[in-house]
Amino acid sequence: MIQILNLSKSFGEQELYDNITFNVNAREKIGLVGRNGHGKTTLFQILLGEMQPDSGSITIPNGYRIGHLQQHMKFTQDTVLNEACLGLREEDRYETWKVEKILFGLGFTKADMEKPPSIFSGGYQIRLNLAKVLVSEPNLLMLDEPNNYLDIVASRWLISFLRDWQGELILITHDRGFMDSVTTHTLAIHRKKVKKVKGPTQKLYDQIATEEEVYEKTLVNEENKRRQLEVFINRFRAKAQLASQVQSKIKVLEKMGEKEQLERIESLNFSFRAYTFVSAQMINANEITFSYTGKEPYLIKNFTLNVEKKERICVIGKNGKGKSTLLKIFAGEHEPLSGALKRNPTLVTGYFGQPNVMRLEPKNTVLDEIMSASPDCNLQTARNISGMFMFKRDNALKPISVLSGGEKNRVMMAKIVVTPCHLLLLDEPTNHLDMDSCDALMQAIDEFDGSVVMVTHDESFLKRIAKRLVIFDKEKVTLYEGGYQDFLDNVGWDDEKDNEKETPKITLNKPVSLNKKELRKLKADIYKERDSIVKPLSNEINRLNQSIAEMKTELQTNNNILVEASTRGEYVKIAETSKRNSFLNQELAAAEDRLLNATQEYETSKKEFEDKLSEIDS
């Protein structure tokens, strides 16, 4: 267990934490949330000893190992496999199958294993560093936005890996679905304090909202009471017969103290403006083919897609396969080598992509960049729009060169908002945004009256937004007429299936020449593999059973509360308890589904290992 006690940290006048205290207990998987700039990454650096707090203490047990994702790209080995093996613990130094399994999961192929790390892109080099920390099996694993560097298949694999993780975990990610899939607790940095709850992100946010609503109502009530007391004291102070009552109310007033108004926290709040589109078709791509070299291999080959009114199309697949290129073609930045691409001559697009972020002028201020998006955008309009994107007052005068990645993303979004459009082309718009900003973006896309074509690996966005899918998988591009959950249920990822086939497994066929020592070693390896797969499932089943029992108990208690509240006419309590019960029933249904899946997987895996051991014994 790690104990953080009365921790404080400031940078100049900006105070991040004010005497925060919390524990990281055994087997806890904690999702760390908070607005950008509120100190999530700084807290990581303090826990790693890379930065010192202003005050407070951190207690870490002797011999406790912390692993975290390194951003530097210093590689010393000649192959990917050898480099990743550097992460193995001394006692596991010959367990190369563990390394291969993780590398396969993160998207490396068998051929990649023997290639030098230096030839890979920055994203894949980060994946290699991630593999090194995962195979090191630390007590505490600390991951800061790991899925920024992963495509959707690798992200799904990492979710599965972290669910089985037997140590402690602290995770920062803007992807709410990713976080809720793997964490047991949520910890928020909020108003310079921390709040930790057992359960998903929404439970914590709901609790904070409820507490702040109660605080605000209490503040109003106390202010009213204070005014009443002051009126009484001032009115009857001179009357001798009421002197004792006046003194009593003075003492009450002195004891009350004063509650401070909660400081307003800026939130991203905007909407995309849509032009009315009168034609039926925006873009018609017919049998288009493209490669940067002008010859094979083609990133896109013989692909056909019609983009019509009010579309919600998501482009998904592995990195480096052509997703961003397809958006550039639709935006007019590239032309296909063959096939026909027709854009409606009246079409107005809003394009958010990496090339455009890089084209922001470093010397310009935020206001300069927003006004540059349209000649009709005057200073007051730019001020209004910059305010929507949390650039108020002097922040709107910041030069682009000093902005963070998330702030530059917000500037790009603001430039799109300046001019109404028919079609939004969005390439990974959630990168560098915090969870609240991602929620605001999802809401804005939901409410946009035009069409959207978006590249994303965020499964929360995919499940909520996508009505059609363009899928880059298994070296081909296909169109799927349906939503993302429907795709997972009925088709699934070819590359994900191949990873399962390619992942090394212990050989079942026993050579006749094995002696007793070799047989014992083979059985020991099978027991070890069994424990690594079956035990986490057993733990998950136990955790789910306990969670389900707790929710059922709370539902029963709440039902009793509702009965009592109904007889007393306590309508506020009825509303609050009913809302809580609605949430609990949703969580209970989801937990029961997970329990069923985990139980089925447990029974299947257990039977497979029993068969392996029986084969050896025979």
On whether the CB atoms of residues 421 and 348 are closer than 8 A, the answer is yes
Cα 476 to the chain's mean position, in Å? 28
Residue 159 pLDDT > 80:
yes
What is the SS3 assignment for 35-74?
CCCCCHHHHHHHHCCCCCCCEEEEECCCCCCEEECCCCCC
Backbone angles phi, psi at 155, to 5 degrees: -60, -40
What is the SS3 assignment for 447-485?
HCCCEEEEECCCHHHHHHHCCEEEEEECCEEEEECCCHH
Name the residue with higher pLDDT: 188 or 222.
188
- Mean predicted confidence (pLDDT) in 458-467: 93
* Rounded (5°) CA angle 96-613-601: 75
| pLDDT band of 510, cuts 50, 70, 90 | very low
pLDDT in tens, 579-609: 888 888 888 888 877 887 778 778 777 777 7
* Rounded (5°) CA angle 101-102-108: 90
DSSP string of 92-136?
GTT-HHHHHHHHHHTT--TGGGGS-GGGS-HHHHHHHHHHHHHHT
The predicted pLDDT at position 534 comes to 81
What is the token pair recorded at 282?
Answer: 């925006």
Length of the chain: 618
Q: How far apart are CA 450 and CA 277, in angstroms?
A: 8
Residue type, 394: D
- Return the SS3 of 362: coil
DSSP string of 196-251?
EEES-HHHHHHHHHHHHHHHHHHHHHHHHHHHHHHHHHHHHTT-GGGHHHHHHHHH
* Mean model confidence pLDDT for the chain: 88
Q: How far apart are CA 465 and CA 311, in angstroms?
A: 10
The predicted pLDDT at position 483 comes to 94
| pLDDT band of 617, cuts 50, 70, 90 | low
pLDDT in tens, 331-360: 999 999 999 999 999 999 999 987 677 889
What is the pTM (predicted TM-score) of this model? 0.74
The helix/strand count (H/E) of the chain reads as 19, 18
Torsion of Cα atoms, 123 then 124 then 130 then 135, to 10°: 180
Domains 2-204 and 281-498 belong to one CATH topology: yes
- Return the SS3 of 417: helix
Q: How far apart are CA 34 and CA 378, in angstroms?
A: 34
- Mean predicted confidence (pLDDT) in 132-160: 92
Domain borders along the chain are: 2-204, 281-498, 516-617
Domain 281-498 has CATH 3.40.50.300: yes
> Nearest to residue 587, comparing CAs of 199, 9, 64, 118?
199
The predicted pLDDT at position 511 comes to 39
Query: Hey, CA dihedral for 193, 196, 200, 205, is it positive or negative?
Result: negative
Query: Hey, CA dihedral for 346, 349, 355, 360, is it positive or negative?
Result: positive
| pLDDT band of 546, cuts 50, 70, 90 | confident
Lowest mean pLDDT among 10-14, 429-433, 469-473, 485-489: 429-433
What is the SS3 assignment for 281-311?
EEEEEEEEEECCCCCCCCCEEEEEEEEECCC
Domain 2-204 has CATH 3.40.50.300: yes
On whether the CB atoms of residues 443 and 269 are closer than 8 A, the answer is no
| pLDDT band of 618, cuts 50, 70, 90 | low
Q: How far apart are CA 575 and CA 616, in angstroms?
A: 62
pLDDT in tens, 18-53: 999 999 999 999 999 998 888 999 999 999 999 999
Beta strands at 476-480 and 300-308: parallel, antiparallel or unpaired: unpaired
- Mean predicted confidence (pLDDT) in 570-587: 85
> Nearest to residue 175, comparing CAs of 191, 195, 155?
155
